[in-house]
Chains A and B, each alone.
Chain A
Amino acid sequence: MELQAVLMAAGGGSRMTDLTYNTPKPMLPVGNKPLMWYPLNLLERVGFEEVIVITTKEVQKMMSTDSRMKRDIKMKMEVVCVPEDGDMGTADALRHIQQKIKTDILVVSCDLITDVALHEVVDLFRAHNATLAMLMSKAHEFTETVPGQKGKKRTAEQRDFVGVDQSGKRLLFMANEADLEDGLSVRKSIIRKHPRMHIKTGLVDAHLYCLKKAVVDFLTENKSISSIRGELVPYLVRKQFSKTPNSQKVKEDLEDQTQKKNDCSTNHELLISSRDEPLLQLAQERSCWNDHRGDMSEAYHGGKLRCYVHIMEQGLCYRVNTLAAYIEANRQAPKLFEEPPVHPSAVISERCQVGSDSIIGERCQIAEKTSIKRSTIGISSNVKEKVKVTNSIVMHSVTIEEGCNIQGSVICSNAIIGRGADLKYCLVGNGQRIEPEAERTNEVIVGTDQLMEI
């Protein structure tokens, strides 16, 4: 077997608590499908037959009751539950399932919505015998107004600095602005080996990683690493250029030697060579290929640890971890699948206008004289007469009474919007009731118990 897929669905959605305090993030509806349906669909389309899903008990329960998951996903899903409370990072989760992992793995996050040609990432992993191959995409500006945002002031997102080589494939450098104090420092060894480096910001990390099995074994030894993106990936990228044990040119004193010994032991696990290493070495020697030119070193500078990245120029790639991303994803996600936007079981009366870019879920009831434009209506929702819904996301089992006007808002499940209410750019939390004739603009309406949580 070549690759095992692992889906990380235990995340809490810490950046969009308003949406996730009742529905766990993996089950948030996007385009009327649960969020984790999208990465699972991607894996299934590409040809995976089995996937290990790491999630919480709550999500597992919801998964088993959701009809769409059972119907559409034909893969064999092995669900591993992790405790909800703990600060179990993604790397900790990998350590948890170490017994089940027999080959190289493909780790996907549950909040990834993309139409990437996955073979581009995996081909980098295969062809160069890489330790890590990941996917990144050019970030798109979110143009929709986000409910609850006061003015244009956006919290400064911490930027990621990503350094790639001439070809744009080899990952040389990765740092987050938060870790840098007074400047970006690049090691001389990197510059010596790759004099031309392109540093890019404005890239979205898709959290899709191909990792060698040796990395998982390495994680079991080093229990200090708890997050793949935060700690493991920068570590691997740095380790590409660390001095190998058999470099004879550097003079070391004793201190360095002991430090190098520690380095050696960690290196050794990562560089667990395949059998017949001498044959591979022979083939590489005889081959007239080099990945760089201009200096005297052999292909890959003799390094055994290599990290690669595929940067998507075109196409969809969203990570739904903020409210803005969630709204944007709802707009774009319908392009990913070919189901008809209006579900056949929805009851739509004749005199209502449903725009062509709107999605109506199962068993909805749309009464007369309503107008639904650029919106998503969830399953079993009930929209009464003379309602105007524009640019909004309405989740499941919502009741919207007559005469409402909803614009640019997000209405969570089980909410009830009273008669004649006028909501602009609001976020109505789960199970909330909006009193009739209410007029709210740019507000986040959640329950009082929610307000106590930080």
Chain B
Amino acid sequence: MCNSCAFYHFAAVFLSLNHLLHGYEKKGDIERAKSEGKELTKEEKQRLRKEKKQQKKSKEKKDDKVIQESGKETRGDSSAASPPQPSSQSTAQKAPSAVPPPVSVPAPEAPTPADKPAKSKAELKAERRARQEAERASKQSKKGDPGPQGAVSKSKAATNELQPVVKRLPEHIQVDNPDVLKKLAKKLERQQTPGQNSAKKIPLRLDYGYKVSLFSHLHQYSRKAPLTQQLSIPSTVIHPAIVRLGLQYSQGIVAGSNARSVALLHAFKQVIRDYTTPPNEELSRDLVNRLKPYISFLNQCRPLSASMGNAIKYVKKEISNIPSQCKEEEAKHKLLKCIECYIKDKIILAATAIAESSIEKISDGDVILIYGCSSLVNHILCEALEKNRKFRVIVVDSRPRLEGREALRRLVQRGISCTYVLISAVSYILPEVSKVFLGAHALLANGYVMSRVGTSQIALVAKAFNVPVLVCCETYKFCERVQTDSFVSNELDDPDDLIVTRNGHTQLENWQQEPSLGLLNLVYDVTPPDFVDLVITELGMIPCTSVPVVLRVKNVDQ
């Protein structure tokens, strides 16, 4: 036997010995408990179960290791990994009794094997088991402080990328599952702002109307039932700026990805300004907890957009990066500055950069087609006019939002000559068009473009006519989600928006009484990257499939 194999063998024997030793110790405890009091507590029962599992696994491991060592080549890193493994396993056994030390021990040790694929199956299993025990132990202890444990478990999850982690579906696309709804209600109850009595909690907004079955897993709210009717009027649970923002979202006064993010950051600035650290708390942790109920509230008023999600992540990261010895005034000042910088860099300067790149693509005599009202595309066209490009614009619009009218107003006010059509006429008008500029709500990690419903139609028809489609999008709207269809994750708007009154008649007034009639008011759809020719971002003009690269670069930067 070669040296390494001998070492493995020794390690395996050590492992099994350790197991048996500890197993006997614990067994002794349990025997004692059994003889003393006849009932085994829940903890001890679980411990028993664990012992049995471990013994089974150690037997399997021994077999595995024997097989592996005969087949594998030497890997220096793995040998370094295996001695820490027994210690982690032994500490993991003590997990039920003392949670923080053993949980932290595997975490720093896990990154040491730099060669991730080199981990043997046994080590993977051991780490998984350690994590399970840690989670079980944390569930047994009180739910008071999930913060540090959550952070630690998250760091573990991040480092163990190869772990087959079961990704749970987000709650907002599981509305037809009553268990998930109950969980959401409980989560809102728990998320009351600290220090308030339990009567004041974030209200739960109820769904409205019959939902079309394909989309019954999404929320559908009515604009006439705002969330504020369940809140007290001088709102104490939620900061007034956030209540105002939620109202503006749900009534559509602030609409559009950029506008919503800017308004959100403005409201966060006010929250931070009015915030005072309670005694015995740290700003970096307490402020993040303070923001959680506000975010749930905003989510219920209107589901968060990808840009808002990224902005929130940034703000939370900045808050938690505040050093603990920083004074409150200084910390607040720093946070406000960070938010201002974020807006300046990611929204305002990005728009300028994108406009500059896009103007190169606009030549004299162009006929440009735009859809709906995208603030970025409007900005680009106005800038192009300033640079004395000669072009005309065709604005395509669709019901029920009819946002194109607002885009039309803004362009005509500047002096651009425009044509206005509804989306049903797009194939009629396309032979005249030389380029299509589209805005995006989010760019997904597989290159799909999520934008207002109707965009994919326009891209499809444009592709059929061989007209180039350019999507303009800032990088802060890039999101790590992957979607290939518009069903899985979408937003359902108020179905009553589809009802129209003409000549005093409202045909769909009693649509709820018709048993087989459902009104569907979708907000977003996804466009495949085959239909998009170019994505213009502030980092340059990239093809749609390079979005994951940008995401990766962004993550490395941060």
Contact = CB atoms under 8 A, between A and B. Distances in A.
A47 interface: yes
A123 B228 contact: yes
Given A287-B253, A289-B406, A296-B413, A47 B234 contact: yes
Nearest to B274: A1
Among B256, B262, B269, B375, find the residue whose CB has the most chain A CB atoms closer than 10 A.
B262
B244 interface: yes
Contact of B258 (A122, A127, A280, A286): A286
Contacts of B244: 126-127, 129
Given A2-B243, A279-B269, A288 B234 contact: no
Given A126-B247, A129-B244, A286 B253 contact: no
Among B226, B244, B265, B407, find the residue whose CB has the most chain A CB atoms closer than 10 A.
B244
Among B254, B265, B372, find the residue whose CB has the most chain A CB atoms closer than 10 A.
B254
Interface string B224-251: 0010110111111000100110011001
A118 interface: yes
Nearest to A46: B233
Interface in A271-300: 275-276, 279-280, 282-290, 293, 296
A104 to B, nearest CB: 9
Interface residues of A, number: 34
B524 to A, nearest CB: 15
B373 interface: yes
A218 interface: no
B294 to A, nearest CB: 14
Nearest to A288: B373
A161 interface: no
Among A47, A123, A283, A289, find the residue whose CB has the most chain B CB atoms closer than 10 A.
A283
A289 B233 contact: no
A128 interface: yes
A268 to B, nearest CB: 23
Among A4, A47, A280, A284, find the residue whose CB has the most chain B CB atoms closer than 10 A.
A47
B205 to A, nearest CB: 14
Contacts of B270: 276
B226 A123 contact: yes
Contacts of B375: 285-288
Contact of B255 (A46, A129, A287): A287
Contacts, number: 108
Contacts of B263: 280, 283, 287
Contact of A3 (B234, B407, B409, B412): B234
Contact of A280 (B226, B236, B243, B266): B266
Nearest to A48: B234
Contacts of A276: 266, 269-270
B406 A288 contact: yes
Contacts of B259: 283-288
A118 B233 contact: yes
Contact of A47 (B232, B252, B253, B260): B232
A199 interface: no
A119 interface: yes
Given A123-B247, A129-B244, A283-B262, A290 B409 contact: yes
A296 B226 CA distance: 31
Contact of A287 (B247, B254, B273): B254
A97 interface: no
B286 interface: no
Interface of A: 1-5, 46-49, 106, 117-119, 122-123, 126-129, 275-276, 279-280, 282-290, 293, 296
Given A1-B240, A47-B233, A280-B263, 18 more contacts: A2-B234, A47-B234, A49-B236, A106-B233, A126-B244, A127-B251, A279-B266, A279-B269, A282-B262, A287-B253, A287-B263, A287-B375, A288-B256, A288-B259, A288-B373, A288-B406, A288-B407, A293-B406
30 contacts: A1-B240, A2-B233, A3-B234, A5-B234, A46-B233, A47-B231, A47-B232, A47-B234, A106-B233, A118-B233, A119-B231, A126-B243, A127-B244, A127-B253, A129-B244, A275-B273, A276-B266, A279-B262, A279-B343, A280-B266, A283-B254, A283-B259, A283-B263, A286-B262, A287-B253, A287-B260, A288-B255, A288-B373, A296-B412, A296-B413
